């Protein structure tokens, strides 16, 4: 039983709730002070300096303090309005952060696609074609690159077969 209670008490929701109750109590005293010390004196100026807290009806031996009820009702609505403003502000911040997060993710996705495309281009195989023919200097016919005699004009080539240089290679993408 103690273990279950320990798990319950250490869960994030219970701790968050406890913190909310404590902060709510402090917030309630601030709003009560705002109502009693600021708003009600201003309202009493318009109502002929009537203090709502002192308003009551005595029936028999029982007193009904409707002025205190009015003060507490105003207190509640002000607290609810303040909480509404805070939640509205936090939602606005969250919405802005969410939009920025979406923009960032979209930008990141575009950059990722760009780099994937670049990477694919770099990984493409390059075909190198080695020349297999040459031109006979006498009859200008195209012959095998290793030939030492032209089959068309029967000219003999004095230079031996040359090695192919890098510049002679045709690179095709």
Size (the chain), residues: 173
pLDDT at 15 over 70: yes
E strands of the chain, at which residues?
57-59, 62-64, 127-129, 133-135, 142-144, 170-172
Kindly report, residue by residue over 20-52, the tens digit of the pLDDT: 888 888 888 887 788 778 877 787 788 776 767
Give me the mean pLDDT over the 91-113 stretch: 87
Dump pLDDT digits (tens) for 110-157: 877 766 665 555 555 666 677 788 888 878 888 888 888 888 888 887
**Model-level pTM?**
0.45
Task: Give the per-residue pLDDT at 160.
Answer: 55
CB 144 within 8 A of CB 131: no
Pair of tokens at residue 58: 């005595």
CA-to-CA distance for 127 and 119, rounded, in angstroms? 18
pLDDT band at residue 1 under the 50/70/90 scheme: confident
Strand partners, 127: 172
* pLDDT score of 93: 92
Tell me the per-residue pLDDT of 60-77, one tens digit each, with 9 for 90 and over.
Answer: 888 888 888 887 887 788
In this structure, what DSSP letter does residue 34 have? I
Domains and CATH numbers, the chain: 2-99 (1.10.1200.120), 119-173 (no CATH)
């Amino acid at each position: 039983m103690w273990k279950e209670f320990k798990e319950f008490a250490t869960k994030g929701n219970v701790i968050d709730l406890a913190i909310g109750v404590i902060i709510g109590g402090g917030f309630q005293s601030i709003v009560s002070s705002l109502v009693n010390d600021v708003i009600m004196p201003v309202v009493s100026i318009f109502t002929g300096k009537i203090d709502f807290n002192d308003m009551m009806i005595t029936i028999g031996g029982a007193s009904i303090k409707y002025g205190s009820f009015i003060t507490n009702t105003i207190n509640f609505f002000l607290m609810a309005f303040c909480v509404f403003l805070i939640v509205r502000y936090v939602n606005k911040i969250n919405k802005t952060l969410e939009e920025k997060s979406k923009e960032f993710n979209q930008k990141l996705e575009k950059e990722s696609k760009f780099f994937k495309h670049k990477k694919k281009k770099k990984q493409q195989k390059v075909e190198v074609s080695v020349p297999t023919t040459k031109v006979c200097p006498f009859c200008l016919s195209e012959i095998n690159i290793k030939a030492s005699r032209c089959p068309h004009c029967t000219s003999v080539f004095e230079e031996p077969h040359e090695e192919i240089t890098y510049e002679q290679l045709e690179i095709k993408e």
